[in-house]
């Protein structure tokens, strides 16, 4: 055997073996138990092939900053009241600052000192006059605001992941993209609308006192109160009725003090409700609030909608409560999920939603595979007729290409999309190109009267640079496609660039070794080309 053939054949064999090793999980539906150490990753099918939902969410990060400032304002209220410093108003003004309005200059100095100590990273404005009162404002600095925004996206990502885990979707993809976008992919879900609602819900739970001294229809509502509505749908007619309430703006307890939420069924009315458990701080607050307000109403508010506004009949200790409303089993369980997973730190907006039904997905796979198969057959037949036996060698190279490519896709855990299949089909056409280049050269050399062996070597030699050039130019575009593409386009770029690299190997080593094997003695009289 000529020098260098052994290791080349070995390499080809090893790659084939590896490809099949990686492909096994995809091809075999149930792996034997001893497979445990071997690769288990399948080729993932893109949403366009198996159906499912692809969402891009935009996190309203500005709202997260505002939320933080609201907390600062509440905290300041408590601190100043605790220290007996009288103030007229403390509130968030605009999107980036909290303003404290005080009655007199004396308190202003004390407050100024306190603010400096308590919030050293904020920018404190000098006291200024506001309608005869002294005002101070705390402005959040750019860096902290950015930081808060960044954290809000991180938190939102975690919360959404929790929700989806509890909703039960296998192999979801949840990742951050860019500054404030989150990409969520839910393959194979049956009820996309429900999932979308679950993911998109802010789920900010608040307990607020009802102000029964103010009528909801009053023209002027006090500064510290607001009107919200309780919506109830009639089970029989489906008609929605709205009852407005005036609520205290400040929430007494919020959802972040929960430890658990579960769906229970009311034995009396056979109605589902959500039972919630508070943590120790929440339980203490709940105990205090109910003790102090027996006989009054308080409202359970989720995302600015009142779920229920029961009258507090007695002090409730022990840290459990229940949210009842017009629930179905599904809505109650979704509410329990969002309460357990926690609120989003800022509202999210769905800016892209691509949903593919499972039937279309299956249809696409079938058609893609069919097109691929026909493409392969056409090319194989053409090559066999045009280049005879040498054409069959090129065809063998093409088959190797496809096997390697599938193996590589499986090994990388890449996602196969419809354009990905298209790229593979296109590659089938292009993969024989290297061989065409070589074969045409060989024919030229043969015409010059060279022996088959010499013509073969010259053909490969002369075509080498051209093959390199042509592959690199394709790689350049594939790399750019990969860089900017999302979803299906990325899948296309991955298949294309892997294919190009693999093709370089099969055309320069795979097919060459076959020829070398047959021509190494240099005695062959004729080359079937």
CA of 21: how far to CAs of 14, 25, 42, in Å?
10, 8, 11
Which residue of 86, 128, 249, 367 would you call a contact of other proteins, by CB under 8 A? 367
Q: Taking Cα atoms as reference points, which of 385, 439, 204 lies closest to residue 304?
A: 204
Q: Does 501 bind other proteins (CB under 8 A)?
A: no
Q: What are phi and psi of 250, to 5 degrees?
A: -70, 130
CA dist list (Å): 393 to 5, 427, 515 = 16, 17, 8
| Shortest Å distance, C-beta 146 to other proteins | 20
**Bridge partners of 249?**
none
**Residue 144: strand, helix, or coil:** helix
> Looking at beta carbons only, is 17 or 370 nearer to other proteins?
370
Which span sits near other proteins by CB under 8 A: 258-266, 294-302, 405-413, 460-468? 460-468
Site string for other proteins, 115-154 (x = CB under 8 A): ----------------------------------------
Q: At 379, phi and psi to the nearest 5?
A: -65, -45
Which of 81, 175, 352, 528 lies at the binding interface for other proteins (CB under 8 A)? 352
Q: Is 416 helix (H, G, I), strand (E, B) or coil?
A: strand
Q: What backbone torsions phi and psi does residue 316 show, to the nearest 5 degrees?
A: -115, 110
174 vs 423 by CB, closer to other proteins: 423
Q: Which of 12, 203, 348, 432 binds other proteins (CB under 8 A)?
A: 432
> Does residue number 111 form part of the binding site for other proteins (CB under 8 A)?
no
Question: Using the rule CB under 8 A, which residue among 243, 363, 448, 461 binds other proteins?
Answer: 363
CA distance 185 to 197: 14
Which member of 359, 449, 521, 526 binds other proteins (CB under 8 A)? 359
Please report how close the Cβ of residue 433 comes to other proteins at its closest, in angstroms: 4
Cβ proximity to other proteins: between 261 and 394 the closer is: 394
Report in angstroms how near the CB of residue 507 gets to other proteins at its nearest: 13
Among 40, 86, 330, 349, binds other proteins (CB under 8 A): 349
Nearer to other proteins, 196 or 343 (CB): 196
Provide the token pair at 71.
């907390």
Using CB under 8 A, which residues numbered 248 to 277 contact other proteins? none
Among 27, 71, 350, 448, binds other proteins (CB under 8 A): 350
Using CB under 8 A as the binding rule, whether residue 386 contacts other proteins is answered as yes
Shortest Cβ 46–other proteins spacing (Å):
11
C-alpha to C-alpha distance for 81 and 502, rounded to whole angstroms: 72
Separation CA 274–CA 323 (nearest Å): 5
**Which residue of 78, 179, 388, 412 would you call a contact of other proteins, by CB under 8 A?**
388
For 54, 216, 236, 240, the CA distances from 243, given in Å and listed in that order, are 37, 9, 19, 10
| Distances, alpha carbon 78 to alpha carbons 36, 83, 85, 103, 335, in Å | 59, 9, 10, 17, 32
Span of 80-88, 222-230, 310-318, 462-470 interacting with other proteins by CB under 8 A: 462-470
Binding-site string for other proteins from residue 174 to residue 213, where x marks contact by CB under 8 A and - marks none:
----------------------x-----------------
Interface with other proteins by CB under 8 A: which range of 134-142, 318-326, 404-412, 487-495? 487-495
Judge contact between 39 and 481, C-beta under 8 A. no
The single residue among 342, 347, 397, 488 that binds other proteins, judged by CB under 8 A, is 488
Note whether 329 binds other proteins by CB under 8 A. no
From residue 163, give the alpha-carbon distance in Å to each of 55, 151, 252, 343, 363. 15, 18, 25, 10, 31
Chosen residue from 146, 155, 326, 470 binding other proteins by CB under 8 A? 470
Length of the chain: 529
Distance in angstroms (rounded) separating the CA atoms of residues 233 and 329: 15
Q: Does 360 bind other proteins (CB under 8 A)?
A: yes
Q: Does 442 bind other proteins (CB under 8 A)?
A: no
Rounded to whole angstroms, the maximal C-alpha distance in the chain is: 110
Least distance (Å) between residue 490 CB and other proteins:
10
Cα gap 286→279, rounded to integer Å: 10
User: Quick check: 493 and 501 in contact, CB under 8 A?
Assistant: no
- The three-state secondary structure class of 303 is coil
CB of 219 to other proteins, least distance (A): 30
C-alpha closest to that of 74 among 87, 62, 90? 90
From candidates 1, 37, 236, 385, binder to other proteins by CB under 8 A: 385
Considering the rule CB under 8 A, would residue 353 count as an interface residue with other proteins?
A: yes
Q: Which two tokens stand for residue 518?
A: 């047959």
Nearest CA among 201, 163, 148 for reference residue 348? 201
Question: Which stretches of 141-271 are DSSP H helices?
Answer: 142-167, 192-200
Q: Tell me how far the alpha carbon of residue 228 is from its chain's centroid.
A: 33
Site string for other proteins, 39-68 (x = CB under 8 A): ---------x-------x-x----------
Name the one range near other proteins by CB under 8 A: 118-126, 270-278, 279-287, 435-443: 435-443
CB of 324 or CB of 435, closer to other proteins:
435
CA pair distance 204, 497, nearest whole angstrom: 46
Q: Which stretch binds other proteins (CB under 8 A): 139-147, 374-382, 402-410, 506-514?
A: 374-382
Residues that bind other proteins (CB under 8 A): 48, 56, 58, 196, 349-357, 359-360, 363-364, 367-368, 370-372, 374-375, 378-379, 382-383, 385-388, 418-419, 422-423, 425-426, 428-430, 432-433, 436-437, 440, 443-444, 462, 465-466, 469-474, 476-481, 483-485, 488-489, 492, 496
């Amino acid at each position: 055997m000529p020098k260098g053939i052994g290791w080349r054949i070995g390499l080809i064999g090893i790659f084939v073996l590896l490809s099949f090793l990686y492909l096994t999980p995809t091809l075999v539906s149930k792996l034997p138990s001893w497979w445990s150490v071997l690769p288990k990753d399948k080729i993932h099918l893109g949403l366009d092939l198996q159906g499912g939902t692809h969402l891009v969410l935009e996190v309203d990060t500005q709202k997260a900053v505002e939320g933080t400032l609201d907390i600062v304002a509440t905290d300041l209220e408590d601190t100043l009241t605790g220290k007996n410093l009288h103030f007229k108003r403390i509130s968030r003004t605009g999107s980036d600052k909290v303003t404290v309005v005080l009655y007199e200059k004396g308190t202003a100095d004390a407050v100024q000192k306190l603010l400096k100590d308590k919030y050293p990273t904020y920018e404190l404005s000098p006291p200024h006059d506001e309608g005869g009162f002294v005002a101070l404002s705390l402005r959040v600095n750019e860096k902290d605001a950015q930081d808060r925004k960044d954290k809000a996206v991180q938190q939102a990502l975690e919360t959404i992941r929790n929700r989806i885990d509890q909703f039960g979707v296998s192999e979801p993809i949840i990742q951050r993209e860019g500054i404030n976008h989150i990409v969520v992919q839910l393959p194979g879900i049956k009820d996309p609308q429900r999932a979308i609602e679950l993911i998109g819900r802010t789920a900010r739970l608040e307990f607020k006192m009802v102000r029964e001294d103010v009528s909801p229809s009053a023209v002027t509502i006090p500064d510290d109160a607001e009107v919200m509505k309780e919506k109830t749908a009639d089970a029989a007619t489906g008609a929605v009725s709205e009852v407005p309430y005036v609520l205290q703006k400040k929430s007494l307890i919020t959802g972040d003090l929960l430890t658990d939420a579960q769906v229970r069924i009311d034995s009396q009315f056979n109605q589902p409700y959500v039972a919630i458990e508070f943590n120790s701080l929440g339980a203490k607050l709940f105990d205090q609030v109910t003790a102090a307000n027996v006989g009054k109403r308080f409202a359970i508010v989720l995302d600015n909608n009142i779920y229920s506004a029961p009258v507090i009949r007695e002090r409730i200790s022990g840290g459990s409560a229940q949210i009842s409303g017009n629930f179905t089993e599904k809505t109650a369980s979704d509410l329990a999920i969002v309460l357990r997973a926690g609120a989003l730190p800022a509202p999210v907006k769905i800016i892209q939603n691509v949903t593919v039904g499972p039937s279309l997905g299956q249809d696409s796979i079938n058609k893609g595979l069919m097109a691929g198969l026909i493409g392969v057959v056409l090319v194989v037949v053409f090559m066999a007729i045009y280049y005879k036996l040498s054409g069959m060698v090129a065809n063998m190279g093409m088959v190797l290409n496809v096997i390697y490519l599938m193996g590589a896709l499986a090994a990388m855990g890449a996602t196969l999309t419809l354009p990905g299949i298209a790229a593979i089909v296109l590659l089938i056409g292009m993969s024989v190109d290297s061989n065409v280049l070589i074969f045409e050269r060989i024919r030229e050399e043969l015409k010059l009267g060279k022996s088959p062996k010499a013509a073969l070597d010259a053909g490969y030699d002369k075509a080498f640079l051209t093959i390199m050039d042509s592959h690199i130019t394709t790689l350049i575009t594939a790399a750019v496609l990969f860089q900017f593409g999302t979803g299906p386009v990325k899948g296309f770029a991955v298949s294309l660039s892997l294919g190009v690299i693999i093709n370089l190997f099969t055309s320069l080593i795979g097919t060459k070794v076959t020829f070398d094997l047959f021509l190494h003695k240099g005695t062959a009289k004729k080359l079937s080309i």
